[in-house]
Chains A and B, each alone.
Chain A
Amino acid sequence: DAKTTQPPSMDCAEGRAANLPCNHSTISGNEYVYWYRQIHSQGPQYIIHGLKNNETNEMASLIITEDRKSSTLILPHATLRDTAVYYCIVRAPHRGSTLGRLYFGRGTQLTVWP
């Protein structure tokens, strides 16, 4: 699976957009980009995933560059409850699963301040 590079920490003011970058320069053609977040001492929470096109759901937007070597997770209006560690993962489906050998790095600690 491709490795990802994320900044270790970011800050964002409440109500502003939080833009979390991720580099995945060795991504393969069949690998998806996934984003999860983990609030302290809780299980990771799925946010969004995508292959080529930009994606949007009720939680966030995912912007993937045309060459697919990087992506950005956008939280349009960050709240204090969005403070968490955000993980960017890239992988191909494994036996029809969205997990399989899914390796998590250290992610980005996003702190939203009032």
Chain B
Amino acid sequence: GENVEQHPSTLSVQEGDSAVIKCTYSDSASNYFPWYKQELGKRPQLIIDIRSNVGEKKDQRIAVTLNKTAKHFSLHITETQPEDSAVYFCALGGTSYGKLTFGQGTILTVHP
């Protein structure tokens, strides 16, 4: 079945630095790759997604890159701010009726 490995599990950066979180997967049939941000006690919130026909997508300070050959995709956050502190989850989709398989999550802490 689908499996996704997410690294690092924790990431601590200074405000203004960049943060990169990477996910690798095994099922080459996956074709939808969303990223969710979850603040403590809140819902997972979709922040960006990419489909397998695109290699990179950017939305202001957030970007996602996809390498289908190597089966990995990454979240890039530039000019980090304290309010970016949260747990970030990557997910895989597109192999069945909408099921998303989530990574283990990355706790991002941005220090002012």
A and B: interacting chains? no
